[in-house]
Amino acid sequence: MKHLFLMRVVTKVILLAIAIASVCLIANPVPGTQLEIPSTSLRSLASQQGFLIGSAVGDKILEKDWQYREVLAREFNSLTTENEVKFIIVHPERDRYDFTRPDALVKFAQDHNMTMRGHTIVWFHSLPRWLTENQFTRDEMKEILRDHIQTLVGHYRGQVQHWDVVNEPLGSDGSLRDNLWMRAIGPEYIDLAFRWAHEADPDAKLYLSEYGEGLNSKADSLYLLAKELKERGVSIDGVGFQTHIGFLSANDPKEVAENMKRFNEIGLEIVITEMDVPVTQFSGTLEEKLAQQADIYRYFLRICLEAPNCNTLNMWGFTDRYTWLKSFLGTVKDPLIFDFNYRPKRAYYAMTEELKSHLNKSN
């Protein structure tokens, strides 16, 4: 009898343990087994109001991580190439182009009905050694740049809707950055880049991209540069505000909203192109930091939704599992709206609430 009693007790304990484990598994899914799926996606809410919500995407991650692919397709209607169309990737040798990596991203975007943004065509960084270590004449450099732009943009004609044509042309003091293109060609390289991109795909929208989006001397210089380009008849559609909050950008949305207004007055769009918000810039407990992060995402989404010339917010990634800050600074700063295990963070829900609120006002 005692043995029978003990067996019953042990059985009950085992069953209870299994039940508890099952509940825990549902509440905290093991990575690779299931995903927490919000009832309404960012994509659905944004698309209903003609708004683009997007993320930078790496082709290697896209290929290997099914969770990444699933969340990306569900939550976003815009995809930005993180590195795949940079000069060093697509033009590794002077007479050879390789579009293998960006082709994979373009196919994913097409398969999932996503708007495609190419980042970036002309930059002072990510240049191949054949270009930086050889001495070319000004005319040769112009021909190299023209061929690069028209080959790249022409290859994706009708497939990439938006291009960051020139990235970070300004130094921290607001003057034109001293870079390879400035030294070889002069300030004209910016005008030429837009002209050649427009010739390669007249229907694509073309943008400058910069950081430092508040009200400051660099922002003034960016405004004047864009204004002068437009006055010279350059085919520029808008300016990208990178919005790396707390790292390269100020975190005052009111200043950014004011800055957006003056670009609207000269007929230029604004796109938030690379937003992320590291929590280490905030004080308090982790929960308090996550709440502050959520507020920043909410407010920047709000100013974009309310501005007549802003209809896109792109983040530089969407999960803390993959962030450029890890490779750039050596640490993970939890800057994005999904955590390491693809669970939505407070910032995600703050953005869905803001999109719902704006949709209700519009209706």
Instruction: Give me the half-sphere count of Cα atoms (radius 13 Å) on the Cβ side of residue 58.
Output: 12
DSSP 8-state code for residue 176: B
Sign of the four-CA dihedral 333, 337, 340, 343? positive
Cα–Cα dist 98/294, whole Å: 39
Report whether 322 contacts 303 (CB < 8 A): no
Among residues 168, 213, 269, 354, the one annotated as catalytic is: 168
Examine the residue annotation and report whether 63 is marked as an active-site residue of this protein. no
In the residue annotation, 306 being an active-site residue is answered as no
Q: Which of 297, 304, 299, 306 is nearest to 347 (CA)?
A: 297
The DSSP call for residue 281 is G
Instruction: For residue 348, give every residue at least 6 positions away whose Cβ sits within 8 Å of its Cβ, in sequence order, or none.
Output: 38, 42, 337, 338
Count how many Cα atoms sit within 13 Å of the Cα of residue 105 in the half-sphere of its side chain: 25
Q: Which of 70, 85, 146 is nearest to 117 (CA)?
A: 85
Q: Which of 75, 84, 213, 274 is catalytic?
A: 274
**Catalytic annotation, residues:** 168, 274
